[in-house]
Amino acid sequence: MMRLVQQRLATTPHFSKSFVPRPRFGEVGTRTKVIANHFKFTKIPTKTIYHYDVVTASRSRTFQDCRGQGLESMGNDASGERCRAFDGVKNAYSPHAVTSGNVTVALPPNLDAPPTCRAPKDFKVTLTKVKEINLAELDAYVASKVEINERILSCIQAMDIVFRHTAGKTMMASGRNFFACGSTPAPIKGGPELWSGLFQSVRPGNKAMTLNVDTAYTAFYKAISVVQFAHEALNKQRLPANQELMFRDRSKLEKLLRQVIVIATHRRDSNLRHRVLRLSREGADRCMFIYTPEGGAPQELSVAQYFKIKYGLLLQYPKLPCLVVGTLEKSVMLPMEYATIAPEQKFHGKLEEYQTSDVIKIAAKRPNERQAEIMRLFASLKLHENQYLQAFGIEVNAQPMAIDARILDAPTLAVGDSRQKTPCDETWNCVDMRVVSPARITSLGVLSFSDTWRALEGQIADWMGGFFETAEQMGFGFNPKKGTKDNYPIHFAHSSPEGVEAALRAIYQAMGNAFNQEPQLLVCLLPTKSAAMYAKIKQIGDTVLGVPTQCLVLNKVQHASAQYWANVALKVNTKVSGAYINFRLAQSCFFTESTMLVGADVTHPAPGTDQPSIACMVASLTGHSADRYATVTRQQPHSRQEELGDCAGMFEQLLHAYLAKNNQSFPRRVLFYRDGVSEGQFAAVHDIEVRAIKGVLDCLGARETKLMFVVVQKRHHTRFFAAKQGQGMTNKTGILKAAVQGTARPTRYVVLHDEVHWTADDLQQFMYNLCYTYAQCTRSVSVVPPAYYARLACSRARHHLAGGADASGATGSASNGTGSAGIPKVSDKLKESMYFM
- The alpha helices in 542-583, defined as continuous H runs, are 554-558, 562-575
Contact 500, 536 (CB under 8 A): yes
Give the Å distances, CA to CA, from 134 to 54, 81, 91, 167, 390.
21, 19, 17, 24, 17
pLDDT score for 363: 87
Rounded to 5 degrees, φ, ψ at 469 are -65, -50
Strand partners, 225: 340
Q: How far apart are CA 45 and CA 601, in angstroms?
A: 39
pLDDT score for 628: 81
For residue 735, with 0-12 CB atoms within 10 Å meaning exposed, 13-18 middle and 19 or more buried, which class applies? buried
Count CA within 13 A, CB hemisphere, residue 420. 8
Residue 427 CA to chain centroid, in angstroms?
26
**Total residue count of the chain as it appears in this document:** 837
User: Any idea what DSSP says for residue 792?
Assistant: H
pLDDT score for 9: 37
Contact 534, 399 (CB under 8 A): no
Task: Give the contacts of 480 (CB within 8 A, at least 6 positions apart).
Answer: none
Neighbours of 172 (CB within 10 A): 18
Give the Å distances, CA to CA, from 583 to 3, 437, 647.
40, 8, 30
Q: How far apart are CA 99 and CA 81, in angstroms?
A: 9
E-only strand ranges, 146-239: 172-174, 177-179, 186-187, 192-205, 208-221
- The alpha helices in 268-345, defined as continuous H runs, are 303-311
Count the helices and strands in the chain (H runs, E runs): 19, 37
Q: Please state whether beta strands 48-56 and 91-94 pair in parallel, antiparallel, or not at all (unpaired).
A: antiparallel
Rounded to 5 degrees, φ, ψ at 306 are -60, -45
Q: How far apart are CA 780 and CA 744, in angstroms?
A: 13
DSSP-derived secondary structure for 654-694: HHHHHHHHTTTPPPSEEEEEEES--GGGHHHHIIIIIHHHH
Q: Compute the radius of gyration of the chain from its Cα atoms.
A: 30
Residue 437 CA to chain centroid, in angstroms?
33
Contact 813, 631 (CB under 8 A): yes
Q: Please state whether beta strands 584-585 and 595-603 pair in parallel, antiparallel, or not at all (unpaired).
A: unpaired
For residue 383, with 0-12 CB atoms within 10 Å meaning exposed, 13-18 middle and 19 or more buried, which class applies? buried
Rounded to 5 degrees, φ, ψ at 831 are -65, -20
Rounded to 5 degrees, φ, ψ at 713 are -120, 125
**CATH 3.30.420.10 domain extents, the chain:** 2-28+590-830
Strand partners, 552: 525
pLDDT score for 699: 95
**CATH 2.170.260.10 domain extents, the chain:** 226-342
Residue whose C-alpha is closest to residue 634's, from 645, 618, 622, 648: 645
- pTM (predicted TM-score): 0.86
Residue whose C-alpha is closest to residue 583's, from 433, 741, 796: 433
Q: In the CATH scheme, what is the homologous superfamily, with its name and number, of domain 438-575?
A: Response regulator (3.40.50.2300)
Task: Give the contacts of 598 (CB within 8 A, at least 6 positions apart).
Answer: 617, 618, 619, 620, 651, 654, 670, 671, 672, 673, 786
Q: How far apart are CA 720 and CA 402, in angstroms?
A: 9
CA 653-800-622 angle, 5° bins: 35
Q: Please state whether beta strands 595-603 and 669-675 pair in parallel, antiparallel, or not at all (unpaired).
A: parallel
For residue 371, with 0-12 CB atoms within 10 Å meaning exposed, 13-18 middle and 19 or more buried, which class applies? buried
Give the Å distances, CA to CA, from 102 to 78, 94, 184, 826.
15, 17, 42, 60
Q: Which residues of the chain have pLDDT under 50?
A: 1-17, 59-63, 67-70, 75-80, 241, 804-822
Task: Give the contacts of 186 (CB within 8 A, at least 6 positions apart).
Answer: 193, 194, 196, 362
Q: How far apart are CA 2 and CA 634, in angstroms?
A: 16
Q: How far apart are CA 449 and CA 494, in angstroms?
A: 5
CATH of 226-342 given 2.170.260.10, 3.40.50.1100, 2.60.40.10, 3.30.565.10: 2.170.260.10
pLDDT score for 738: 66
Contact 334, 272 (CB under 8 A): no
Q: How far apart are CA 75 and CA 729, in angstroms?
A: 54
CATH number of 2-28+590-830: 3.30.420.10
Count CA within 13 A, CB hemisphere, residue 756. 26
**CATH 3.40.50.2300 domain extents, the chain:** 438-575
